[in-house]
């Protein structure tokens, strides 16, 4: 009699790259005769895909292991840790929690079946922190994608920038771009499978630089990334978004590509981190505020209105109240559609960790609140300016507020809830729809379908 398949549950913490890695891991595990399940409660194997960008994200791994084990008062599952914490901590994880059976680094997703089988077979402390093997292909089946309509497509992995505060270059290794022909083929395939939207993802998408320019020879653009955008637009995929952009590598030809192609979405995420040149230098970001504002001018000068969002770290070591004031002024000038604000979190092994984390907890909280308040007032104004206009929405499902209302993201990446005006809601899910904006809150728009 054939043995029953073992079941695996994968839980994803962290960024979209982790979401993509988990999808890939699910694919290879299914191909190796594991059943993928949706809860840790009944799984034989639980894999946590982890993030270490800030202390709180890292602590979550241990919280989750505790919770999962506590809920299972019967048979305990085999627990594995993959992703950024796995890559950075390696062997030390086994010492921290002896319930951990295996550790798989950020480039070991394809080798998970072997690691899991060895751990299930009784081998203890199974670990793989190695690079990807040549020839490993990104090949994720529809059944393992998080959504049937929106797909994450990694175009570049890793980071070479080594910003002084950031752990990512250590957890993800050096930048490696996927061949353009492979990306274009994947997106063309997604289109035939009924996908309406792709996100091109990477720590710095506009640093995209493949070894060979296959598939982009005939495409216009001053940089490989702008060429790739145009080539992806030509697949006819409904909506194409990309994140994250790195200011130094953001060139004007990206805006030209967005101007030319309707299906390249009207949104750019361009993290600035600080409004002070002095702090930017200490952070080793490689640009000054004047350079950043040049990029903002290109973006604001585009043919259609492009939404602009950003990340800011407050309380970087040595950040004075004048530095912070410059950040406030920058945020005022940029008029961001959205802003993620983070309190500086010291990461072991980064250059910034050698500096004294001298901005007090109280001061960080106060700066955070002031910046948040400023952004709130800017955002309220921006969101209100959409009232009366028509936006295109990819319908995702029922809204959190009301069952007879639907919700989705606009091409400018804003959440919108809308009434269906008598059209059967279920028939609209997964489709792009025109919606008229009738109301605005700080973080979401409201409207009615325009049919
Ligand atoms: N590659 C992107 C984003 C990387 S991580 C970029 O360079 O912009 C996402 C965000 O987390 C960063 O933009 C930064 O704002 C924040 N971040 C990274 N390291 C941090 C740290 N040590 N403390 C607080 N925030 C951090
Ligand atoms: Fe981190 Fe800087 Fe790389 Fe972004 S560019 S991932 S902040 S090192
Ligand atoms: Fe976190 Fe690693 Fe992404 S540290 S933000 S999961 S690259």
The ligand minimizing its distance to the Cα of 205 is 1
pLDDT score at 214: 81
| Alpha-carbon torsion angle 51, 56, 59, 60, nearest 10 | -70
For residue 346, which atom of ligand 1 is closest to its CA? 22
For residue 167, which atom of ligand 3 is closest to its CA? 4
Q: Which domains does the chain have, with CATH numbers?
A: 7-128 (3.40.50.12160), 142-384 (3.80.30.20), 390-449 (2.40.50)
| C-alpha 284 to ligand 3 mean position (Å) | 19
For residue 166, which atom of ligand 1 is closest to its CA? 19
108 secondary structure, DSSP code: -
Ligand 2 in reach of 159 Cβ (< 6 A): yes
Instruction: Compute the 3-state secondary structure of the chain and give helix, strand, coil in percent, each to the nearest 5.
Output: 35, 20, 40
List 241's β-bridge partners, or say none: 199
For residue 204, which atom of ligand 2 is closest to its CA? 5
Question: Count of residues for the chain?
Answer: 451
Contact 176, 208 (CB under 8 A): no
| C-alpha 316 to ligand 2 mean position (Å) | 15
pLDDT score at 218: 85
Global model pTM greater than 0.75: yes
Ligand 2 in reach of 25 Cβ (< 6 A): no
Q: How many CB atoms lie within 10 A of CB 439?
A: 16
* Phi/psi of residue 178, nearest 5 degrees: -80, 145
List 80's β-bridge partners, or say none: 47, 102
The ligand minimizing its distance to the Cα of 350 is 1
pLDDT score at 434: 95
Which ranges of 176-238 would DSSP assign to H, the alpha helix?
180-192, 224-233
Element (H, E) at 198: strand 197-201
Q: Tell me the Cα Rg of the chain.
A: 23
pLDDT score at 313: 98
The ligand minimizing its distance to the Cα of 48 is 3
Angle 96-100-106 (CA atoms, 0-180°, nearest 5)? Answer: 95
pLDDT score at 366: 98
List 273's β-bridge partners, or say none: 312
Element (H, E) at 330: helix 321-334
Contact 159, 175 (CB under 8 A): yes
| C-alpha 394 to ligand 2 mean position (Å) | 30
Per-residue pLDDT of the chain (451 residues; tens, 9 = 90+): 557 899 999 999 999 999 999 999 999 999 999 999 999 998 999 999 999 999 999 999 999 999 999 998 788 999 999 999 999 999 999 999 999 999 999 999 999 999 999 999 999 999 999 998 887 777 788 888 988 899 999 999 999 999 999 999 999 999 999 999 999 999 999 999 999 999 999 999 999 999 877 888 888 888 999 999 999 999 999 999 999 999 999 999 999 999 999 999 999 999 999 999 999 999 999 999 999 999 999 999 999 999 999 999 999 999 999 999 999 999 999 999 999 999 999 999 999 999 999 999 999 999 999 999 999 999 999 999 999 999 999 999 888 877 779 999 999 999 999 988 777 888 899 999 999 999 999 899 999 998 7
The ligand minimizing its distance to the Cα of 160 is 2
Q: For residue 310, give both structure tokens.
A: 């950003």
| C-alpha 365 to ligand 2 mean position (Å) | 23
Is the sign of the CA dihedral 244, 247, 250, 252 positive or negative? positive
**Residue 244, preceding peptide bond in cis (omega within 30° of 0):** yes
pLDDT score at 49: 98
């Amino acid at each position: 009699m054939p043995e029953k398949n073992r079941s695996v549950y994968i839980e994803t913490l962290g960024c979209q790259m982790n979401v993509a890695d988990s999808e890939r891991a699910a694919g290879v595990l299914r191909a190796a005769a594991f059943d993928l399940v949706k809860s840790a409660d009944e799984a034989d194997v639980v894999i946590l895909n982890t993030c270490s960008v800030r202390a709180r994200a890292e602590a979550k791994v241990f919280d989750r292991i505790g919770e999962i084990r506590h809920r299972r008062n019967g048979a305990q599952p085999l627990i594995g840790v993959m992703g950024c914490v796995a890559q950075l901590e390696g062997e030390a994880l086994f010492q921290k929690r002896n319930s951990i059976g295996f550790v798989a680094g950020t480039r070991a997703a394809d080798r998970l079946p072997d690691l899991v089988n060895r751990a299930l077979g009784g081998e203890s402390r199974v670990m793989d922190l190695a690079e990807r093997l040549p020839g490993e292909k990104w090949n994720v089946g529809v059944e393992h994608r998080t959504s049937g309509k929106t797909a994450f497509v990694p175009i570049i992995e890793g980071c070479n920038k080594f910003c002084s505060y950031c752990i990512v270059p250590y957890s993800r290794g050096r930048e490696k771009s996927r061949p353009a022909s492979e990306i274009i083929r994947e997106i063309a395939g997604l289109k035939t499978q009924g996908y309406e939207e792709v996100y091109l993802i990477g720590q710095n998408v506009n640093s995209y630089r493949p070894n060979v320019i296959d598939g982009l020879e005939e495409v216009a653009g001053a940089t490989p990334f702008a060429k790739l955008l145009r080539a992806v637009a030509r697949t006819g995929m409904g909506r194409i978004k990309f994140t994250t952009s790195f200011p130094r590598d953001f060139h004007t030809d990206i805006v030209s590509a967005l101007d030319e192609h309707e299906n390249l979405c009207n949104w750019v995420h361009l993290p600035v981190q600080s409004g002070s040149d002095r702090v930017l230098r200490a952070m080793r970001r490689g640009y000054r505020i004047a350079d950043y504002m040049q990029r903002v001018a290109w973006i604001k000068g585009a043919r259609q209105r492009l939404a602009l969002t950003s990340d800011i770290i407050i309380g970087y070591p040595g950040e004075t109240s004048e530095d912070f004031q410059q950040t406030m002024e920058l945020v005022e000038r940029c008029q961001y559609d959205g802003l993620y604000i983070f309190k500086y979190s010291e990461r072991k092994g980064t250059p910034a960790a050698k500096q004294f984390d001298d901005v007090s907890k109280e001061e960080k909280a106060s700066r955070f609140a002031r910046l948040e308040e400023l952004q709130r007032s800017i955002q309220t104004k921006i969101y209100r300016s959409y009232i009366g206009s028509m936006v295109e929405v990819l319908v995702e499902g029922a809204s959190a507020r009301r069952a007879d209302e639907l919700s989705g993201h606009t091409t400018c990446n804003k959440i919108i809830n809308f009434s269906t005006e008598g059209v059967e809601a279920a028939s609209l899910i997964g489709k792009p729809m025109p919606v008229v904006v009738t109301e605005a809150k700080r973080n979401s728009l409201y409207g009615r379908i325009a049919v």
